[in-house]
Amino acid sequence: MLKPKVDGMTLVELLIVFAILGLLVSLVGPTAYKQLERTRAQEEWLTLERATRDLAFQSYLRGVNTTVEFSGTQLAWRSEGGVSRQLLFEHLFFDPSVSSVITPNGIFDRDRVTLSQRGRPRELALNAWVESGRLP
């Protein structure tokens, strides 16, 4: 007797394939998510470094004092005669809150700010561009 030709997959075969895919996703997913969060935290760190360097350079170019406040999850600044601006962070936290002034020479009145990045303590060198001898 001839068996009829069957095209396709049975429901049981599909369920097995989906179960295997589900296991793979459950193993790889959390690792990929953690790496994504680490990447975002590092991007925020680089944004903070670039912002402080650019603020120092703008203060130097304009020849004005700029007041900078590092507080909680935000970096806020105001130049003389300018408007207040701020950057908000998700992975960076400034504790305690610190204020600093950038002189018209582009130099912060304090050298370092302490903060935590995803619970890990870090320290930001505010005048690193001066110490390295490179322009911002």
Weakest-pLDDT range from 55-59, 121-125, 127-131 = 127-131
pTM, 2 dp: 0.78
Please check whether residue 91 lies inside any domain of the structure: yes
| Total domain count, the chain | 1
The model's pLDDT over 89-99, given as tens digits with 9 standing for 90+, comes to: 999 999 889 99
Residue 2 maps to a domain: no
Looking at per-residue pLDDT, the higher value among 28 and 134 belongs to: 28
**Could you list the residue range(s) of the whole structural domain that residue 105 is in?**
11-132
The CATH number of the domain holding residue 57 is 3.55.40
Let me know: does 131 contact 121? Beta carbons within 8 Å.
Answer: no
**Residue 22 covered by a domain:** yes
Residues 62 and 83: their CA atoms lie apart, in Å, by 14
Q: How far apart are CA 106 and CA 51, in angstroms?
A: 13
Q: What is the pLDDT of residue 131?
A: 66
Higher per-residue confidence, 26 vs 7? 26
Predicted confidence at residue 1, as pLDDT, reads 64
